[in-house]
Amino acid sequence: MKEKWIQLALRLAEATAPTSTDRYHKVGCAILRKEGSVCGIGFNGQPPGVDLTEDEALHRDFRRRLTTHAESNALAFCQPGDPYLLAVTLPPCDRCLVDAVRYGVKIIVCRPSPEPDTHPIPHELAKRLKVEIRVIDR
Ligand SMILES: [Zn+2]
């Protein structure tokens, strides 16, 4: 895939992130087909109709349990087999990586993890799933 599509996907993911309703971690995702057309964008947050109380929003573990990930929300717009490139503003978690592969994603590009100890890049799982992960610095 051409570098210009990778850069476009990252720019789209970064443009989508501020739309997130999560006040602490705003994550954006963009998914492109092999020829470069967009098949999905998404951001992290609570499902529609679920609003967090102030207390709930402050408790990270609880907030995370009610948060759908940007990748999952972007994949929801895609038909299986359409996605080729997934760009996300943070490294994907194991679940989103598996879901991306289920939809046909072959390349994942992401920004480096701001918390590499607690949120490492899942390189081993990606290798096992035969999907490429590229970490691209700003
Ligand atoms: Zn995830």
CA of 26 to the centre of ligand 1 (A): 13
- In contact, 23 and 52? CB cutoff 8 Å: no
CA of 24 to the centre of ligand 1 (A): 16
CA of 51 to the centre of ligand 1 (A): 20
Percent of the chain with pLDDT over 70: 100
SS3 116: coil
CA of 97 to the centre of ligand 1 (A): 7
Phi and psi of 3, rounded to 5°?
A: -55, -35
The candidate with the shortest Cα–Cα distance to 28, out of 39, 42, 48, is 42
Is pLDDT above 80 for 1? no
Q: Is 107 exposed, middle or buried (0-12, 13-18, 19+ CB in 10 A)?
A: buried
CA of 62 to the centre of ligand 1 (A): 16
CATH numbers and ranges of domains, the chain:
3-135 (3.40.140.10)
Is pLDDT above 90 for 23? no
CA of 121 to the centre of ligand 1 (A): 12
CA of 37 to the centre of ligand 1 (A): 23
- What confidence tens digit (pLDDT) does each residue in 33-56 have? 999 999 999 999 999 999 989 999
CA of 36 to the centre of ligand 1 (A): 23
Q: What is the pLDDT of residue 22?
A: 87
Q: What is the pLDDT of residue 133?
A: 97
To the nearest 10°, report the CA torsion of 86, 88, 72, 1: 0
- What confidence tens digit (pLDDT) does each residue in 58-106 have? 898 899 999 999 999 999 999 999 999 999 999 999 999 999 999 999 9
Q: What is the pLDDT of residue 2?
A: 87
Q: What is the pLDDT of residue 129?
A: 97
- What confidence tens digit (pLDDT) does each residue in 99-129 have? 999 999 999 999 998 888 888 899 999 999 9
- In contact, 12 and 25? CB cutoff 8 Å: no
Give the contacts of 132 (CB within 8 A, at least 6 positions apart).
106, 107, 108, 126
Instruction: Compute the mean pLDDT over every residue in the chain, rounded to the nearest whole number.
Output: 94
To the nearest 10°, report the CA torsion of 7, 9, 12, 14: -70
